[in-house]
A and B are shown apart, each in its own frame.
Chain A
Amino acid sequence: MTEADDLPTDVRALLHEHIETYEQLEILLLLRRERYEEWTLAALAARLHVGEELVGSALERLKSGGLVVMTAAIPAPRFAYRPATPGLDATAGRLDREYAERPVRIIQLMSANAIERVRTAALHTFADSFVLKKKDNDRG
């Protein structure tokens, strides 16, 4: 399937590195479109008709990808779109446009990435084991 080949390379890289699920894609694009808002898990879950656990794990992945930050913790965690670099913002913008114009192509690429991830899961586990986790609650 070479239909995804004319997608810009940075968009393909963003999808490959940081967007694993449909929920992550929808949440990222929503947070970006309304970037001056701060969202709770409940608000996102209601808006997108998705379970809160899925929302939570999607936000975690987007956070570690440098696309989203937690802006408040009390009384409930709130999240907003804060790209780590302007380049990342530009890429996300392109992704938004591509998804609006040719959604099937994006979904196809995400499926292909998902299949490849399963195939190389053992390799990624090997590589991920070298990441020394930051000490949040337990000692890494």
Chain B
Amino acid sequence: MRTFTWGALAMASLIAALFFLRYWRDSRERLFAFFSLAFVGMAVNWTVLAIIDHPVDEAQQVRAYVIRLIAFVILIVGIIDKNRRSGGRL
């Protein structure tokens, strides 16, 4: 059952990433590329969690969550990049 939920989350993430990819193509706004990448990262995170499926070895699980952390960092980098380009405070 857990694998099912991870699969659903990974799929949802991938679809979100595709939407943001289309938004990037439509608006040429680079922020959407970052969003798309971030959600690909989330999809990878959930997929990896499904593959390793709650191991006793914690190191493996941590690595999966590092991918999630990278996804959020990508998003924050994108937001900073948007601010730099648009004269914002960041």
Q: Given the complex of chains A and B, what is the CA–CA distance between A131 and B87 in angstroms?
A: 8
Q: Given the complex of chains A and B, what is the CA–CA distance between A13 and B83 in angstroms?
A: 18
The verdict on A135 contacting chain B, using a C-beta distance below 8 Å, is: yes
The verdict on B29 contacting chain A, using a C-beta distance below 8 Å, is: yes
Residues of chain A within 8 A of B26, CB atoms compared: 119-120, 123
Residues of chain A within 8 A of B88, CB atoms compared: 130-134
Q: How far is the CB of A46 from chain B (nearest CB, A)?
A: 29
Q: Given the complex of chains A and B, what is the CA–CA distance between A114 and B79 in angstroms?
A: 25
B82 and A140 within 8 A (CB): no
Mask of B10-33 contacts with A, CB within 8 angstroms, 1/0: 000000000000010011110110
Residues of chain A within 8 A of B32, CB atoms compared: 123, 127
Least CB separation from A119: chain B residue: B26
Say which residue of A16, A64, A132 sits within 8 Å of B90 (CB atoms): A132
Q: Given the complex of chains A and B, what is the CA–CA distance between A128 and B32 in angstroms?
A: 11
A127 and B89 within 8 A (CB): no
Mask of B50-90 contacts with A, CB within 8 angstroms, 1/0: 00000000000000000000000000000100110011111
Residues of chain B within 8 A of A64, CB atoms compared: 86-87
Given the known interface contacts A123-B23, A140-B89, the answer about A131 and B83 at a Cβ–Cβ threshold of 8 Å is yes
Residues of chain A within 8 A of B29, CB atoms compared: 120, 123-124, 127
Known A-B contacts: A131-B83, A135-B89. Give 10 more (CB < 8 A). Answer: A16-B28, A120-B29, A124-B29, A127-B29, A127-B32, A130-B82, A131-B82, A132-B90, A134-B87, A134-B88
5 tightest A-B CB contacts, nearest first: A131-B88, A120-B27, A132-B89, A123-B27, A131-B86
